[in-house]
Amino acid sequence: MRAEEALRKIHTEKPLVHHLTNYVTVNLVANTTLSVGALPVMAHSHEEVEEMVGLASALVVNIGTLDPAFVEAVLLAGKRANEREIPVVLDPVGAGATSLRTRTAERLLSELEIAAVCGNAGEIATLAGLAAEVRGVESLAGDAETAARKAAGSLGVTVAATGETDYVSDGERTWAVRNGHPLMGHVVGTGCASTAAVGCFAAVGGGGGETVANALAYFGRAGEVAAGGAEGGGTFEPRFLDALAGLAANPHHLEEALKVEDTPGA
C-alpha cells in the first residue's frame, strides 16, 4: 500500500494499535502512533492483553526490556492476534547482544505468526544466521540489504533492516528506502518509533513489503522535514512529531518526496 493511501485510511478509520513495548521509549512510541493518526494502547497485564487485542487492528511487539512476565504477555496477545488475523509486527531489539534476547526473538517467530520484523542490521543479521556485531541494543556492523534478504527468505515474513538506507524484503522483492536524516540517530527511541509507524500502516494495509517500505519512507521523510531548523536531538524530537502529524494530515504530494526503489538481484 502506498503511503498516501495508508495515511488517508488511518485518518478515516483511526485504528487501535496495541503495543507491547519497552519502558525506555514508550512515550515516544505512543506519541508517534498518535501523530500518524492511529490510537495507541500499551496494555501489558496478563489479565487484559487478550481482551485488548480483541479491540485492536494491529499488535506491535518490542522486546527492548525483557522479563519472563513480558514474554508470556506477548505470547498471550500474539496468539489472540493470530486468531483474529490481525498483523503482528516484531521489533527484535538487541537480538544478538544476549542469548536471552536472541532466544526470545526466535521463540516468538516460532510460536506466533508474525507479519513483519523490523530491526537494525545487526539484529536482522542475527535472525538470518549471519555474523553481526550488536552492543547493547545498537548495531555496530552488518550489511542491511543482505540481512533483510536472507532473513526474509529464511523466516518467510516481511523483514525491514534499518540503517542509513533501510532495506525491506519479502523474500522475493527487496526495496531500498533512502529517506531519513542523521539527527534521527540522536534521539533514543526512533528505531522503536519507526516500528510503531509500520504497525500503524499494517493496521490498515497489512504487513506486505511495499506497505512496510512506504511506512519507513514516510517516517524518514518526517525526519528530513523536522531537521530543518533543529539544533540537535533535543529540538529535533518535538519537531519530528509535528512533522509526522503534518504529513499525515496533508499527504497530498507526499509520494513525490519518498525515495523507495526496487533493488535488483537476490
CA 153/CA 74 separation, integer angstroms:
24
> Which position has the higher pLDDT, 263 or 169?
169
Q: Which helix (H) or strand (E) holds 262?
A: strand 260-262
Q: Per-residue pLDDT averaged across 191-199, rounded?
A: 98
pLDDT tens digits, 14-35: 999 999 999 999 999 999 999 9
Task: State the DSSP string of 93-155.
Answer: TTBTTBHHHHHHHHHHHHHS--SEEEEEHHHHHHHTT---EEETTEEEE--HHHHHHHHHHHH
Contact (CB, 8 A) for 167 and 264: no
C-alpha cell belonging to residue 96: 544478538
* DSSP class of 208: -
Do the strands 133-135 and 138-141 form a parallel or antiparallel pair, or are they unpaired? antiparallel
* pLDDT mean over 153-181: 96
pLDDT at residue 237, rounded to an integer: 96
> Alpha-carbon distance 239 to 35, whole Å?
11
Residue type at 11 in one-letter notation: H
Q: What is the pLDDT of residues 104-161, one digit of tens each?
A: 999 999 999 999 999 999 999 999 988 655 544 444 445 899 999 999 999 999 999 9
Q: What is the mean pLDDT of the chain?
A: 94
For residues 174-202, give the mean pLDDT. 96
Looking at residue 142, its pLDDT comes to: 54
Residue 178 has, within 13 A of its CA and on its CB side, a CA count of: 7
Range of the domain at 218: 3-262
Q: Which helix (H) or strand (E) holds 240?
A: helix 233-249
pTM: 0.94
**Domain harbouring 120, CATH code:** 3.40.1190.20
The pLDDT value given to residue 168: 98
pLDDT at 141: 47
Q: Is the pLDDT of residue 11 over 90?
A: yes
- Mean local confidence (pLDDT), 32-48: 97
Number of domains the chain contains = 1
